[in-house]
Structure 1
């Protein structure tokens, strides 16, 4: 497999986490809707439906924040790599190959 860019990996991981988070929110919503369906009185039904709605809203909001943070991180990484490729470091001056000789004084 060819070497993958880190920004692509970040986006793939975020996409997978987004899907998992939304699936968990839907599962939680379905749980509360099932409880609402089996509730005996109208107050309990509306309370469970309200909880289900809020669970889905909070889950999707968290997933969107996660996706946005991952996109920002991936964009930042890609931008810094592009800048690093265009910026050429200054060349260091070549070292002299001839060694200087030290004369000893006799005396």
Structure 2
């Protein structure tokens, strides 16, 4: 990966984090679904189901924000590298010694 562009590395890391985030959200959802099946009354079951549903919605929203943020960072890096390659930096003229 030493030769890989940094924008590709940023996207790859974000993809891995996205998978981890969604896996954690699914584990949490499954926990609330199992609590719903064990609940004694209907009100408690429905409350756990709603919590499970909202957990997945919040997890998906967080994953989407993570992906968008990583895409923006990768695009910004790639754009700045293209601009740096197109416009070589201006060298400062040497100072004249007046003495």
Q: TM > 0.5 between the two?
A: yes
Q: Secondary structure at the match of 2:43?
A: helix
Task: Tell me the equivalent position of 2:15.
Answer: 15
Structure 2 spans left out of the alignment, 5+ residues: 95-99
Task: Tell me the equivalent position of 2:31.
Answer: 31
1:83 equivalenced with 2:83 (yes/no): yes
Report deviation, 1:93.
Answer: 6.0
TM-score w.r.t. length of structure 2: 0.88
Structure with greater Cα Rg:
1
Which is further off, 82-91 or 18-27?
A: 82-91
Task: Tell me the equivalent position of 2:97.
Answer: none
Task: Tell me the equivalent position of 2:61.
Answer: 61
Report deviation, 1:2.
Answer: 5.5
Relative to its length, the structure with more helix (as a share) is 2
Q: Deviations over 1:56-80 (max 9, x none)?
A: 1001101110110000000000000
Report deviation, 1:89.
Answer: 2.9
CA RMSD of aligned residues (A): 1.9
Cα distance in 1 for residues equivalent to 2:52 and 2:16: 23
1:93/1:47 Cα in 2 relative to 1: closer, same or farther (>3 Å)?
Answer: closer
TM-score w.r.t. length of structure 1: 0.82
Cα distance in 1 for residues equivalent to 2:10 and 2:67: 10
Cα distance in 2 for residues equivalent to 1:21 and 1:67: 11
Task: Tell me the equivalent position of 1:103.
Answer: none
